[in-house]
Structure 1
């Protein structure tokens, strides 16, 4: 399964300054190692065939000819490697000397990409030796039996998978205000290589890392930074070999500094292609002067080594989690505060079940009222016990409402639901969907009418995961006057609630922690021995899996077979293949057939990159057919 994953490497060989044969030996050693590991593109540092720090030796014919002959040797000795290789080399053309990235494939020199921005400040004095390339620079060279172009206006495209297109820039090109890589990305390059000799000073590594990461996001591409290291002259500078691989704003891999060897990861070029289609501000005009140089590569199966988070909605850096939780709660609360103010609502009515989602909805409402300087007594928390309610959830609801200083009401709905079943002729022993939904709709009616009575608005509690699965009663808990959790997936709801428990402390924190420990359940079926009998994740599957599927289906438009592959990688040792397939099939089936519920969602704030609002991020016909997606699921 290729699925668009291209295994890439940044390589730093040990070099000797001006010893082209030694340098070529070490480049070849790393090429062989990369090839054995299934790498499909490998890049080496700027001027690594000669050494970046050759200084005035760059003007000597013997050095330039030595580099040329060693590049031809490398091409010859890698002709059996079906791998794109980028190597830094000085190239003379008549009276000019260019700092180039040579691009090789199966023994052929496909082209040379010259450096466009030549630094000549502080420790850099490259203009002493090198000529700055422009868009008009176009030279056609013959080296032995090799014929190729030297031009910055070229990208290298795989004939088997056109989305796999590589562009190159060199060191300083990245550090300027308008990097060539931006135009290269617009010209179709999904993988950008930077061949660099970036000397190390205090604080530069973090800046370099951010620069690479942000350029990969700006260009919606993979960006591979190949840095010079051991062996460069230390007369005045130290080179750290800080190799970095980034994709669409995230760091996939980076090397330990001051070391040699390979840094390897996989770039998802199909994901980058989807991102560009989705974001219509990714412009491709004014880039048609770029030549597409084809290369015929037999794409290999790619074993994934890149990190794939089990909870993609949750920040991977746990140090950032508290800050992110605070930001999300503020976004939710600000949206609600704005709506309460606009509607001149006297109260906010929250159905409080003692479960996770309603607890978060109450937390958000409290934050909103605090923002508005409103009395928390104007928040009406309503618990509505019925046939499935347990003492644990009821007590937690009452305790939480009191801990936050809200007005709490207990409204028993068993009698009214029973009367309703009598009216429609439903047998009380028939615990079918009618039995369940009748309770949910009665609760919504109570909340709506109570909001009318108090001049308030009903706050929706349902989360993004439930919306994706359609795990809500239509015109029951599916409906509200403002849904604060509508773009918060269940995995993130847990983190937000845990954060609030830690922040609040005391009795509030204690009860929130017990809510977190309570099995997720709608509590619509009678308890067994006083315990919850209806556990959601036993019925529809683990929410951590469903949130994973949701993220990759919506955020990157991935097909089920690719999501399945990523899930197996992320959840290895936790869920077996059959379980992952079972719940993925369930997710796809439910996602399609439950769209009608999402087509009439109440308003609510967008918080993350994935939402299902029919007025915003997700527009899908309710009668769309899932056959193509289900067919893939069945074939897994």
Structure 2
């Protein structure tokens, strides 16, 4: 396990029923391939050494002895391999036979786990041959020349670097209380399932849902391997399912009904799972009743070089295309409902919002319009105020006015140039000096106008600031940082563009749509510095604080899972390596530079977040000081910056 990632595999070899020699060679071939690809843990189907469909041949002493010989062959084969292999075979314990998973590493049997729930209905007759783990007491047996103690207690296997996994076998998953419930509560990060599940109409979809839901419910990864081609088709067919899921998300699914061996490999984000568990208080509460025997695996003889091959989404805040419309509507409904409740509670029939012609204020205005329509209020109660200043361009000014007019809200235009110039004279500031005083004075003047206008009309000031700006502190303290209700407070910059486009494509007339599309194409800027000689925006936010697609990537993974800078850097180098045309490509030095900027600003600007206005949470990440993020304003960021400086 490196950077919190564990590389696992689900294997589906070809089998020959009752041909243990053929089967073990097929197993070893897949182990060798997996080991060469850096896999740490590989799981095979149920009874994979003999084949699942031997039926009454399981009563044959010869088959049992040959299965043990095959296991000895595997032990010898794996003597110099660090990979942990989990194979299935029948194991005789005294006068009973158990359906077992055998854990092998470096030529040693690490442990044996017997199946708990034996199906004995429909096409399954396992109790004809096997006994349950619940039927045995602790016993020591000799298998493949090794003394092994077999017990009925649940077992959690722990690797040298702290990775924990548990085992269940086929029907165990389908039972009302799967062993994986207790195993994950006892600390298992990964559950492996050795299975022999036949194919029936509709069963596969149910199985997928079962695995997905179990991994989500237990906040774990689930590695599932079910037998396939070569098993007996006398009465049923085995499709050969290999599935790897992580907290409800499918990372790998094999091709069913494939006559060739299959090997599915995925990298599990263990840090992510553990972060979810730590923050889920119901999970930690349930852990009080969990128990399991802890079994240590062996120390690797050599450390292999780690390479991240997991698919990393460069835009984690943005819904996938097949879910985009539904997600955008859901987000807008949350924003609308939040503002509607605040208006209903206060009895206000007026809102005031500053309209700059940029994305954030545009989305805030669109939410106001939806809210007033939802409450059956006159849109003229929405007071949109455009406040041109020293850096306002014709493009943004025209878009602001056109949008307000086409949406039918009350339009106000109040220039701040005269009042800010007077303010500079009052405080003795040189207006030719374009410094922080020059910029912040404009933002605070605009906020004063909004607040005073709200008092005049008896309304609320609706804030426009977004999650990305709050994370970076890219807002003027007590300026645009302040409002009476912030509808965009938990929406990141990368998502706002998609929300505005959704409204443009679905909710407005042709004139409004044209304006919205031009706003989407306008460079992001606070427009606090005068335009260039051609009248274009000279102050571009992303040139100053960095690309929002990078910052939103850092923000999502840091707030959701608490990843350290080294892991964020590694993931970003994969996500932004140029393979995804929807985002820009960044070299390692650029990523490192903006990662340092992110943490430096994130820590330094907490004081602004400590006094945020109310606003609705719409996703899993929020910076509300009353809910998701509580951080001292004077914390040091030196540990994070030092790790970034050490990155190669």
Does 2:276 align with 1:271? no
Whether the aligned pair in 1 keeps the contact of 2:158 and 2:294 (CA below 8 Å) is: no
Instruction: Check 1:144–1:231 CA distance in 2 against 1; reply closer, same or farther (3 A cut).
Output: closer
Does 2:113 align with 1:117? no
1:136 deviates by 6.6
Does 2:90 align with 1:79? no
- Residue 247 of structure 1: aligned partner: 246
Does 2:497 align with 1:486? no
Q: Secondary structure of the equivalent of 1:575?
A: coil
TM-score (norm 1): 0.97
- Residue 197 of structure 1: aligned partner: 196
Q: How does 1:613-628 map to 2 (within 5 A)?
A: 613-628=624-639
- Residue 324 of structure 1: aligned partner: 327
Query: For residues 13 and 139 of structure 1, what CA distance do their matches in structure 2 show?
Result: 31
Query: For residues 52 and 198 of structure 2, what CA distance do their matches in structure 1 show?
Result: 10
- Residue 517 of structure 2: aligned partner: 513
1:274 deviates by 2.6
Whether the aligned pair in 2 keeps the contact of 1:154 and 1:293 (CA below 8 Å) is: no
Q: Secondary structure of the equivalent of 2:265?
A: strand
Alignment length (residue pairs):
633
Whether the aligned pair in 2 keeps the contact of 1:347 and 1:379 (CA below 8 Å) is: yes
| Segment of structure 1 superposing worse, 57-66 or 585-594 | 57-66
Query: For residues 130 and 143 of structure 1, what CA distance do their matches in structure 2 show?
Result: 18
1:204 deviates by 2.6
Q: Secondary structure of the equivalent of 1:282?
A: helix
Unpaired segments ≥5 residues, structure 1: none
Q: Secondary structure of the equivalent of 2:289?
A: coil
Does 2:103 align with 1:95? no
Query: For residues 217 and 460 of structure 1, what CA distance do their matches in structure 2 show?
Result: 36
Q: How does 1:45-64 map to 2 (within 5 A)?
A: 45-64=45-64
Does 2:382 align with 1:383? no
Does 2:450 align with 1:447? yes
Q: Secondary structure of the equivalent of 1:524?
A: coil
- Residue 564 of structure 1: aligned partner: 569
Listed one character per residue, the Cα deviations across residues 107-150 of structure 1 (whole Å, up to 9, x for unaligned) are: 11111111111122222222222222229753322124312232
Q: Secondary structure of the equivalent of 2:263?
A: strand
1:365 deviates by 1.4
1:7 deviates by 0.9
Q: How does 1:266-345 map to 2 (within 5 A)?
A: 266-283=267-284, 284-297=287-300, 300-315=304-319, 317-345=320-348
Whether the aligned pair in 2 keeps the contact of 1:253 and 1:306 (CA below 8 Å) is: no
| Segment of structure 1 superposing worse, 463-472 or 502-511 | 502-511
1:266 deviates by 0.9
1:289 deviates by 4.2
Query: For residues 286 and 147 of structure 1, what CA distance do their matches in structure 2 show?
Result: 31
- Residue 177 of structure 1: aligned partner: 176
Q: How does 1:291-440 map to 2 (within 5 A)?
A: 291-297=294-300, 300-315=304-319, 317-440=320-443
Q: Secondary structure of the equivalent of 1:99?
A: strand
Whether the aligned pair in 2 keeps the contact of 1:135 and 1:153 (CA below 8 Å) is: no
- Residue 582 of structure 2: aligned partner: none
Listed one character per residue, the Cα deviations across residues 561-599 of structure 1 (whole Å, up to 9, x for unaligned) are: 110000001111310001000100000100000000000
Query: For residues 239 and 366 of structure 1, what CA distance do their matches in structure 2 show?
Result: 56
Q: Secondary structure of the equivalent of 2:526?
A: coil
Does 2:471 align with 1:468? yes
Instruction: Check 1:289–1:38 CA distance in 2 against 1; reply closer, same or farther (3 A cut).
Output: closer
1:96 deviates by 2.0
1:192 deviates by 1.1
Q: Secondary structure of the equivalent of 2:134?
A: coil
1:321 deviates by 1.1
Q: Secondary structure of the equivalent of 2:477?
A: coil
Whether the aligned pair in 2 keeps the contact of 1:109 and 1:147 (CA below 8 Å) is: no
Residue 530 of structure 2 is aligned with which of 526, 533, 547?
A: 526
- Residue 609 of structure 1: aligned partner: 620
Whether the aligned pair in 2 keeps the contact of 1:156 and 1:295 (CA below 8 Å) is: no
Q: Secondary structure of the equivalent of 1:580?
A: helix
Query: For residues 340 and 358 of structure 1, what CA distance do their matches in structure 2 show?
Result: 19
Instruction: Check 1:518–1:93 CA distance in 2 against 1; reply closer, same or farther (3 A cut).
Output: same
Q: How does 1:593-604 map to 2 (within 5 A)?
A: 593-604=604-615
Q: How does 1:3-82 map to 2 (within 5 A)?
A: 3-82=3-82
Whether the aligned pair in 2 keeps the contact of 1:346 and 1:454 (CA below 8 Å) is: no
TM-score (norm 2): 0.95
Instruction: Check 1:306–1:498 CA distance in 2 against 1; reply closer, same or farther (3 A cut).
Output: same
Whether the aligned pair in 1 keeps the contact of 2:111 and 2:295 (CA below 8 Å) is: no
Instruction: Check 1:135–1:426 CA distance in 2 against 1; reply closer, same or farther (3 A cut).
Output: farther
Query: For residues 509 and 252 of structure 1, what CA distance do their matches in structure 2 show?
Result: 38
Listed one character per residue, the Cα deviations across residues 397-432 of structure 1 (whole Å, up to 9, x for unaligned) are: 111112222111111111111111111111110110
Query: For residues 204 and 594 of structure 2, what CA distance do their matches in structure 1 show?
Result: 43
Q: Secondary structure of the equivalent of 1:617?
A: coil
Instruction: Check 1:530–1:272 CA distance in 2 against 1; reply closer, same or farther (3 A cut).
Output: same
Query: For residues 134 and 296 of structure 1, what CA distance do their matches in structure 2 show?
Result: 32
Listed one character per residue, the Cα deviations across residues 57-91 of structure 1 (whole Å, up to 9, x for unaligned) are: 22222222221221121111111110110001111
Whether the aligned pair in 1 keeps the contact of 2:271 and 2:561 (CA below 8 Å) is: no
Whether the aligned pair in 1 keeps the contact of 2:78 and 2:107 (CA below 8 Å) is: yes
Query: For residues 470 and 188 of structure 1, what CA distance do their matches in structure 2 show?
Result: 38
| Segment of structure 1 superposing worse, 219-228 or 475-484 | 219-228
Query: For residues 203 and 171 of structure 1, what CA distance do their matches in structure 2 show?
Result: 18
RMSD after superposition: 1.5
Query: For residues 563 and 438 of structure 1, what CA distance do their matches in structure 2 show?
Result: 36
Query: For residues 481 and 462 of structure 2, what CA distance do their matches in structure 1 show?
Result: 11
- Residue 212 of structure 2: aligned partner: 213
Query: For residues 404 and 256 of structure 2, what CA distance do their matches in structure 1 show?
Result: 53
